[in-house]
Structure 1
């Protein structure tokens, strides 16, 4: 039976295991924004107002609560140059040159521009009615984190919230208070101090926990807090992910070596916590269907700011603005700190740990338009999108197949556009410096004119077959092909790169085009289209094209099982979560670029079922055609390889990793048979 899966609801899950040889999987997702419905929403429709924004967390969203603590540790910033770009140029206790994310989120909801600290002695009734922050710099999900620096713990912040409710009730009555509490938006931001301070800076913690086990502790505490918050009446709760902690300036300095590189163990730990929190929020949404627990990814947007600062209008991403920028934070960033920059808007980071006001503003803007199934984007859109459907097809083999797959009547597809790995790379890797290439014989021996093109097969690959099925063209060229013509652009190209994966590390290991870089090439492609044929026609092509995404094999086969870089930090489930989070981000960005018909293809090992071998006309399914067929792939399958088969059509696999042209034709046709109409 076909299964309907809402992939872009704020959280989602997939079966832990599935046998594609015996199960027919066909997932179709339709998002319909109608001001309600079954999709959990943190953000209300345009005719609904938010009474207040209420915040819990650490220094990212502390507006000055620590000013009023007698903390023995230097976790304060109520002195210059902090706050120099804030209203009046005064330090407020915010760990920034200006406003922080809680302020910007409140403004985005048209509540107010500034969310004050609950412990601010000047807080007024109007402040209480429209929301406050209980956050305390240095706090964490782990109680030990707050104890180490004597700040307001997670449980104590919740106690302050209960006190806040009582003040509201005394001021405006129980009924109005209940209404404010239930309709407010809640922002939760913890975890960074747990990982940087309590775990990696404390050998005793590392003796008792490895990273996944410590992440489990954090997530358990987070879940307890969120359920208690729910018990107090909260119904719209957004939980911010951990950032890429290994790339903040102070950690580059302390742990990144002479070159001050990003320290990957910290980034990996952040990702482990993020995947587990995302999964837990998914469970909470199922257990409390009348509430929304929304995962807000800041890891990937901030990493993008750090990696590509110029794209976002920044000049410096490895140093903070304050002082030397390599270590100054809190009391070390003071009025005596020398060489503080004049213009913090040029910097991604204000001090050595906290982003600048401009960076925060950029991140919140990205969250508005990118997070969690486009709930934010659609709600913040100036127009009501009443029936906007996005089709995501996760396609796998199943049932009988027909070599001819007819398009629905009166339907045409202007272009087929592809992202992925070697299964759909027609030669992009030819033009980059990587060992993952195949632009030499015997690759391509059954292709047009018998020439190697960079396709990892004896002939055409899956993307070519798909383009033919949609009556677009028989050959889908590589975007980086130097011979590419305008007509090729108009009717579609492949951005795929052999060796790429959902996990950014997968592409990095073999120096190929990552998924995010493929998306950058797609943006460049859009620019070329608009320049050549005009904006209207280009946008029509982008929205009506069919997109295929084929990634993931290299993550599992290479990055996880063949290197020691991920396995010590992830079990299979958590690594799968990492891949799914990355995939979700990619699909959301692709949607944001205009794609509306997206097929995500999984190629099953049909050769493992003996009956399928003969039914499909194959004679050999346990080894490839090239050489011995046991190991040869890429540069090991070359003109000097002996014993290659004479007829690849008898083989399911061309080399030891990639299917033959005949197998691709079989797979693609069977995948699309009876499903092609779902794209329209």
Structure 2
């Protein structure tokens, strides 16, 4: 563990600095009520990580004079309260800078070799989890709180400086043997009680300029880590979002069993600056740092990629533009996005045929599961042989369950996607043999994403089906097609199949414009149609689960969280949810999208139909978190 007071378990006790907490009431709920130098009433995230992972009870400070040899083999903490990515931050507080923490880590490596030997040390270094938690002190103390950086930098350029330093730290860790590195983003620091007091006005509201600075840094840090993932072989660099959930806890404390989130428990709770995350919520002795328990197992899952590569060898995806990573580039259709501004935030700003500003759910699935960085399109002429063993996407933008939907758009129908999958199976057999192919097919995760184009384009826009069916009967037709598709997947060897419902289609910017009236409200007719289809689809998949007991077929809800995201964007770190970033944001999609907004991080939607990468990340993370255990449950769902 490297970083600042969030994760310092006592290193500052042994420094000449005023940034110390080894006295009451700190530690009042720690073992025996003992103040240990932890900036909290009890344990801090460092301890909670090792506890949740079953390694040990506490993560000791490296400078602790009572540190035991056995602790070296199972982890220590180099963090120092008051530290930051900017070297000036640590200098001003007279604490251990990140570069000095790395020097301590080098010393630790030598000690570890003396205890367990060279080979075992190499294994420990390569297999361990590394966490870096910093940046808040840079923004709060050095930039906004002091006179030394603000005259020379605006927020964007200062966050560039911070990200450059963070990148150097990660690369230095890699050179020293680290391979699984999680780097925390910044929390909503404008909502910290002290910043509410200093910059939140008379009402002590969250200070938006601080939150905006945190979001700018987080976006840049995430992009940099993605780039490092591509450049550093055999490594897993994970950006860990600690903005969205803490913001929700702060705005909705009662949802999490707390009462007070605008004051701390310590002192008056409104102006202490010793530790900006001491938000003690008075119905419990648990501080906000303990809320990190919500994140721990998922973070560990994101970093420990080997078990996932063994358990889920590949991800195979079928569907529409939500998960198409470039198949439509290679067919004759207007449903393409292989031109700017699509891909403006992708690696190198490259338009790849993904219908977003960056990654799409296909990529985020394999990234979250630790399989690989991107999920390639099956029709990509540059597809590598090794990609067959870890998964591809057959999805085609504008496709649907209804064959007429794909025909109208001249794209790859789901039945044609299945034929491509059969071709893929034969190629896979040539690469890895019959037996390994069977194992990959059985253990892989299959995802089906369709239905939106059927409702919006074929039923409500083209009217070709509306003349034949009322919506409930059309939904029955779609569910019949979906059921047949899932059964055919099963017949080809699939056993873990997730089928996504459809989102609140009436709240897409395009549908607000076309059917939401003068005020561009969510079009309820479309949302009701989505809910009807989702209910019928869920019931059908439950039935298939009973009929195929050796398979796990999971309905995945993507209606409720997106609806909350759209109605409450600020809750998740966004500002604009009724327009897309691309063009006017009200109607443009695909070739009509010719320019983009200035700050895509503010937007839930990229164009008038598709989400931004930032929104997709939130949705995919929650989707996997809620549904992964279902794919490994041995109990019957009947």
Displacement of 1:567: 3.9
The corresponding residue for 1:165 is 109
For the residues of structure 2 that align with 1:173 and 1:142, how far apart are their CA atoms?
Answer: 35
* 3-state DSSP of counterpart to 1:271: helix
Contact preservation (8 Å) 1:419, 1:495? no
The corresponding residue for 2:415 is 407
Distance 1:466 1:592, change over 3 A: farther
The corresponding residue for 2:284 is 343
Structure 1: runs of 5 or more not aligned: 1-54, 428-442, 454-459, 474-489, 502-509, 597-680
* 3-state DSSP of counterpart to 1:161: helix
For the residues of structure 2 that align with 1:171 and 1:209, how far apart are their CA atoms?
Answer: 47
Contact preservation (8 Å) 1:102, 1:115? yes
Show CA shifts across 1:33-70 (max 9, x none): xxxxxxxxxxxxxxxxxxxxxx1100011001111111
Contact preservation (8 Å) 1:82, 1:91? yes
Match of 1:101 among 38, 45, 51: 45
The corresponding residue for 1:363 is 295
Displacement of 1:362: 2.4
Show CA shifts across 1:390-418 (max 9, x none): 5243475763463384636899x999877
Displacement of 1:534: 9.6
Distance 1:553 1:368, change over 3 A: farther
Match of 2:504 among 495, 505, 512: 495
Match of 2:160 among 216, 219, 226: 216
Match of 2:315 among 363, 375, 389: 389
The corresponding residue for 2:197 is 253
Alignment of 1:454-465 (within 5 A): none
Distance 1:332 1:417, change over 3 A: closer
Show CA shifts across 1:286-325 (max 9, x none): 2221222222222222223223333333333332232332
For the residues of structure 1 that align with 2:21 and 2:457, how far apart are their CA atoms?
Answer: 52
Distance 1:213 1:492, change over 3 A: closer
Show CA shifts across 1:468-510 (max 9, x none): 598479xxxxxxxxxxxxxxxx996651353669xxxxxxxx9
* 3-state DSSP of counterpart to 2:41: coil
Distance 1:468 1:570, change over 3 A: closer
Match of 1:75 among 19, 29, 43: 19
Show CA shifts across 1:72-105 (max 9, x none): xx42111122112222221111111111111122
Distance 1:165 1:243, change over 3 A: same
The answer to whether 1:84 aligns with 2:95 is no
The corresponding residue for 1:236 is 180
Displacement of 1:589: 1.8
For the residues of structure 1 that align with 2:558 and 2:277, how far apart are their CA atoms?
Answer: 49
For the residues of structure 2 that align with 1:193 and 1:527, how far apart are their CA atoms?
Answer: 51
The corresponding residue for 2:617 is 584
The corresponding residue for 2:239 is 295
The corresponding residue for 1:615 is none
Alignment of 1:169-208 (within 5 A): 169-208=113-152
Distance 1:225 1:511, change over 3 A: farther
The answer to whether 1:58 aligns with 2:4 is yes
In angstroms, what is the RMSD of aligned CA positions?
5.3
Alignment of 1:282-321 (within 5 A): 282-321=226-265
* 3-state DSSP of counterpart to 1:103: helix
Larger relative CO (CA 8 A, sep 6+): 1 or 2? 1
Displacement of 1:228: 1.8
Show CA shifts across 1:241-271 (max 9, x none): 1112122222222222223222222222112
Displacement of 1:426: 11
For the residues of structure 2 that align with 1:159 and 1:281, how far apart are their CA atoms?
Answer: 22
Displacement of 1:568: 7.5
* 3-state DSSP of counterpart to 1:344: coil
Contact preservation (8 Å) 2:190, 2:208? yes
Paired residues, number: 459
Displacement of 1:134: 0.7
* 3-state DSSP of counterpart to 1:193: helix
The corresponding residue for 1:456 is none
Distance 1:250 1:534, change over 3 A: farther
For the residues of structure 2 that align with 1:472 and 1:528, how far apart are their CA atoms?
Answer: 8
For the residues of structure 1 that align with 2:63 and 2:47, how far apart are their CA atoms?
Answer: 16
Contact preservation (8 Å) 2:459, 2:466? no
For the residues of structure 1 that align with 2:251 and 2:274, how far apart are their CA atoms?
Answer: 25
Distance 1:306 1:232, change over 3 A: same
The corresponding residue for 1:631 is none
Match of 2:210 among 266, 270, 295: 266
The corresponding residue for 1:675 is none
For the residues of structure 2 that align with 1:426 and 1:250, how far apart are their CA atoms?
Answer: 54
The corresponding residue for 2:554 is 543
For the residues of structure 2 that align with 1:386 and 1:445, how far apart are their CA atoms?
Answer: 41
Q: Which moved more, 1:286-295 or 1:149-158?
A: 286-295
* 3-state DSSP of counterpart to 1:318: coil
The corresponding residue for 1:554 is 580
Displacement of 1:193: 0.7
Distance 1:225 1:469, change over 3 A: same
Distance 1:247 1:365, change over 3 A: farther
Displacement of 1:331: 8.7
For the residues of structure 1 that align with 2:102 and 2:81, how far apart are their CA atoms?
Answer: 15
Contact preservation (8 Å) 1:75, 1:331? no
* 3-state DSSP of counterpart to 2:181: strand
* 3-state DSSP of counterpart to 1:97: coil
Q: Which moved more, 1:161-170 or 1:491-500?
A: 491-500
Show CA shifts across 1:308-361 (max 9, x none): 333333333332232332223539999xx9x9947323xxxx3xxxx243x132
The corresponding residue for 2:489 is none
